[in-house]
């Protein structure tokens, strides 16, 4: 079976970047906890920024690639497509969001040589 085509819902670039960051956060117990439904993840916190970037596990993320994390319109679009949902002010990454192929993770998650 061929690999899934990236971005099948045709999210815009900012939406893809934001979802890719949420997917990366969901992999880190320091920032995420299991969600209320099977396979979901609650994003519990964000790493602190320093300067123009922040560290996300083994990655460095430039602040310019993370602007969607503070953009309500991005979350409305991701929610409408069933990729995230709100749970009392916290973001829940749904199974569909976890499994979605954004096609941008490699371009925004830069390997770090330190934590």
**H/E/C letters for each residue in 30-65?**
CCEEECCCCCCEEECCCCCEECCEEEECCEEEEHHH
**The domain that contains 92 carries what CATH number?**
1.10.10.10
Spatial separation of the C-alpha atoms in residues 77 and 38, rounded to whole Å: 23
Q: What is the pLDDT of residue 81?
A: 99
pLDDT at 51 over 70: yes
Residue 78 maps to a domain: yes
Residue 103 maps to a domain: yes
Residue 30 maps to a domain: yes
Residue 1 maps to a domain: no
Residue 19 maps to a domain: yes
Question: Are the C-beta atoms of residues 17 and 56 closer than 8 Å to each other?
Answer: no
Q: Which domain holds residue 36?
A: 13-111
Spatial separation of the C-alpha atoms in residues 45 and 2, rounded to whole Å: 36
pLDDT at 31 over 90: yes
- In whole angstroms, what separates CA 45 from the centre of its chain? 12
How deeply is 1 buried, as exposed, middle or buried, from its count of CB atoms within 10 A (0-12, 13-18, 19+)?
A: exposed
DSSP string, 3-16: PPPS-TT---HHHH
Q: What is the pLDDT of residue 112?
A: 75
Residue 3 maps to a domain: no
Q: What is the pLDDT of residue 114?
A: 59
Residue 57 maps to a domain: yes
pLDDT tens-place string over residues 80-114: 999 999 998 899 999 999 999 999 999 999 997 75
Domain count, the chain: 1
């Amino acid at each position: 079976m061929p690999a899934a085509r990236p971005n099948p819902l045709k999210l815009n670039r900012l939406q893809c970047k934001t979802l890719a960051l949420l997917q990366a956060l969901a992999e880190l117990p320091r920032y995420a906890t299991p969600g209320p439904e099977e396979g979901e993840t609650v994003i519990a916190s964000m790493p602190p920024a320093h300067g123009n970037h922040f560290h996300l596990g083994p990655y460095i993320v430039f602040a310019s690639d993370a602007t969607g994390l503070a953009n309500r319109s991005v979350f409305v679009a991701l929610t409408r497509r069933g990729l995230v949902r709100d749970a009392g002010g916290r973001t829940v990454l749904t199974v569909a969001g976890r499994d979605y192929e954004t096609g941008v993770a490699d371009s925004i998650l830069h390997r770090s040589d330190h934590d």
